[in-house]
Amino acid sequence: MNKSRKLRRYLPLYLMALPCLIYIFCNNYLPMFGIIIAFKKLNFAKGIFGSPWNGFNNFKFLFTTQDAWVITRNTVLYNVVFIIVGMICSITVAILLNEIRSKTAGKFYQSAILIPHLMSWVIVSYIAYALLSNETGLINNSILKSMGKEVVNWYGEKRYWPFILVFVNQWKGIGFSTIVYLSSIVGISQDYYEAARIDGATKWQQIRYITLPLIKPTVITLLILSLGRIFNSDFGLFYQLPRNSGILYDVTNTIDVYVYNALMNNNDFAKSSAASVYQAVVGFVLVLTTNGIIRKVDRENALF
């Protein structure tokens, strides 16, 4: 009696919760079971469940290739550089933005710097093409030629791409992370700066001894969160920007791009599913580890 009344009372809430829970089950939980694909010798005629088991052979195929090392190295190294460069640039810009007293100017700068973040990577790759294309690119035609220099085959030369990728990643992402740091900086009480000025502290000293120490918690939280994602790469950046150019793979191929190409272009289910599970599992371990670290450093910000 009591139980059925309780059920009747909460039934509407359960019904309201249901659609989204079903979606999460289909979109997030079923693929977790789908991981078994990585241990199967996939045969489309027989379907996922009918295909024969293949043990760890798919992983063996993947890790005997040079690719496994290249995509791991690229994914992790680019992320490390992105984290360091991104942190320095966006904290700097946030501090500068905080100095602007004029509301109109501040809003203008902030809005302008955010525009690239609004655009998809496809659009960004079009812009990059307008700048870098061999025949019609602005840099080759308007800049290098007028300076009397040799034109550069941008999409065919590996050595430029680490710089291009880091630069474009910053260009697109700096507005976003600047706002995050800025929201932490504006929270600092003006009294500290007032007192420092009375004591004769220079601007640089104020930044060094007030701003930076006080935004340290934000910095650490964001740092740890991005460490947890170090095995994930931005598919758009690494796939769209180099226009999936095979010559550049050595410096542009990351796990996400590799999985896409193996799955959709080469029909190599063995290696693509192995790489995809490799990423998911290592990513999971990283998230758990970093969350463990957050719990030690600062319980409040732990995810769970």
Contact 249, 265 (CB under 8 A): no
List 2, 4, 5, 13, residue binding another protein (CB under 8 A): 13
Shortest separation between residue 86's beta carbon and another protein, angstroms: 13
Of residues 67-86, those binding another protein (CB under 8 A): none
65 lies in the site for another protein, by CB under 8 A: no
Helix (H), strand (E) counts: the chain:
16, 0
Query: Which residue's CB is nearer to another protein, number 1 or number 16?
Result: 16
Of residues 263-282, those binding another protein (CB under 8 A): 263-264, 269, 272-273, 276-277, 279-280
108 lies in the site for another protein, by CB under 8 A: yes
- DSSP secondary-structure letter at 201? -
109 lies in the site for another protein, by CB under 8 A: yes
Of 100, 110, 102, 98, the closest CA to residue 207 belongs to: 98
Q: Identify each DSSP E strand in the chain by its residue range.
A: none
Is residue 206 within a helix (H) or strand (E), and if so which, with residue range?
helix 203-206
- Give the type of residue at 81: V
Of 212, 197, 16, 22, the closest CA to residue 98 belongs to: 212
Query: Which residue's CB is nearer to another protein, number 99 or number 191?
Result: 99
Question: To the nearest 10°, the Cα dihedral for 38, 41, 42, 45?
Answer: -160
* The one segment of 61-69, 72-80, 158-166, 255-263 that binds another protein by CB under 8 A: 255-263
Query: Which residue's CB is nearer to another protein, number 76 or number 201?
Result: 201
Shortest separation between residue 25's beta carbon and another protein, angstroms: 8
Instruction: List Cβ neighbours of 105 (8 Å cut-off, separation of 6 or more).
Output: none
Shortest separation between residue 187's beta carbon and another protein, angstroms: 11
List 122, 266, 289, 298, residue binding another protein (CB under 8 A): 122
Q: What b/e readout covers 8-26, taking b as 16+ CB neighbours within 10 angstroms?
A: eeeeeeeeeeeeeeeeeee
150 lies in the site for another protein, by CB under 8 A: no
Other Cβ atoms within 10 Å of 143 Cβ, number: 13
Of residues 220-249, those binding another protein (CB under 8 A): 222, 225, 235-236, 240, 243-244
Is residue 18 within a helix (H) or strand (E), and if so which, with residue range?
helix 2-24
List 35, 80, 195, 247, residue binding another protein (CB under 8 A): 35
Q: Write the interaction track for another protein spanning residues 179-218; mark x where CB under 8 A is met and - where it is not.
A: xx--x-------------x--x-xx--------------x
Secondary structure of residue 53 in the 3-state scheme: strand
Query: Which residue's CB is nearer to another protein, number 29 or number 69?
Result: 29
Size of the site for another protein (CB under 8 A): 100
Shortest separation between residue 275's beta carbon and another protein, angstroms: 8
CA 39 to chain centre: 28
